[in-house]
Amino acid sequence: MVIFKHNYELGLKEYEEQQSDNQKAAVGGVSRLALVWLGRRFYVMKK
């Protein structure tokens, strides 16, 4: 029982770290997309 609990806690910690990395990547991608969109808007507006 103790071994299963220990392995569950290790797996849970690993899963949370992976989710955190995935969330950071998603936020980075969305912010990059927003910056490109804004840049394009200003470029077109400037013409």
Spatial separation of the C-alpha atoms in residues 30 and 22, rounded to whole Å: 12
- Report the sign of the C-alpha dihedral through residues 11, 14, 20, 24, in that order: negative
Burial 1-21 (b: 16+ CB within 10 A, else e): eeeeeeeeeeeeeeeeeeeee
pTM: 0.55
Query: Domain range spanning residue 14?
Result: 1-47
What is the residue type of 37?
W
* Residues 12, 20: Cα–Cα separation, whole Å: 12
Q: How do the pLDDT tens digits run along the chain, 47 residues long? A: 777 888 888 889 999 989 988 888 889 889 999 999 999 998 888 76
Total domain count, the chain = 1
